Amino acid sequence: MNQPAPAAPALSPAQSTNSPVPRFVLAAITCPRCEGSGRLPQFRHVEAGRCFRCQGAGQLSVGRVA
Ligand SMILES: [Zn+2]
């Protein structure tokens, strides 16, 4: 079980010297599934209608690289 590591991809730490820490922008958007209500009346038979997309929060946190 001591296999050699596969060839590393072209990415190496030395290549990202100009921006060592990627910047992430966190934004909260209204859940498109429940439109911010956190509930889905048509799914009230499942977990009391809690939106499975946002877990009932009504908003989704999306992160993207700036
Ligand atoms: Zn939702």
pLDDT tens digits, one per residue of 7-50? 766 665 555 567 677 777 788 899 999 999 999 999 889 889 99
Q: Which two tokens stand for residue 53?
A: 């997309």
Tokens 């050699």 map to which residue? 4
What is the structure's pLDDT at 5? 73
Cα-to-centroid distance, 27 and ligand 1 (Å): 15
Terminal-residue alpha carbon distance, the chain? 41
pTM: 0.52
Q: Which long-range contacts (C-beta less than 8 Å, at least 24 apart) are formed by 49-56? A: none
Neighbours of ion ligand 1 (CB under 5 A): 31, 33-34, 51, 53-54
Instruction: Give φ, ψ of 28 to 5 degrees.
Output: -105, 125
Cα-to-centroid distance, 38 and ligand 1 (Å): 4
